[in-house]
Every structure is written in structure tokens, then in C-alpha cells.
Amino acid sequence: MTDSSTNIERPEEHEAAPNPWKLAILTSMADYIDAGSIVAIAVSLAIWTQAFGMSDSTVGLVAALGPNAFAAGVGAVVGGRLGDAG
């Protein structure tokens, strides 16, 4: 008779769990950079509106289609995945 308990894989033998402090720091930095990106676009759009006489529609299009908006979206996806990993 074969003892089947010897064939059980133990979690200790596999890859170690990620360091929770490292994940917390990475997630916090992703949130910090995402928030900084939102503030930067808000401030710059206010300055651009006055300097170039942009209409409300143009400001909305620049905010929605600008590279900063895409960067915030990518940051949210990456930061969200990092947060879920913990």
C-alpha cells in the first residue's frame, strides 16, 4: 500500500509569498502618482484656458484625450492590480 500523504505539495516548497510591506509601498506610490497626475492636469488646464482662451468643450476634450489622462488610466490599472495582489 502506498502512502498518498508523501505526494502532497506543500506551500513552503513553492515560491514565497510577496512581502506585504513591499506591496503596500508600491500600491501607495501608484496612488500617489495617480493623484499627482490628476492635480497636474487640473492646474495646467486652468492655466491653458486663460492663456489660449479655450472653450469648455475644448478643455473637456483635452482633459479626456490628453496623454496625462491615459497615464492616469494606466496607473490606475497597474496600481489596482498591485493592490489586489496583497
Query: What pLDDT does residue 70 have?
Result: 80
Q: Does the global pTM surpass 0.85? A: no
Q: Mind listing the pLDDT tens digit for each residue in 7-53?
A: 555 555 556 667 788 877 877 787 787 778 778 888 888 898 889 99
Rounded-to-10 torsion of CA 37, 43, 49, 52: -80
Give buried/exposed letters for 31-49 (b at 16+ CB in 10 A, else e): beebeebeeebeeebeeee
The answer to whether 54 touches 48, Cβ cutoff 8 Å, is yes
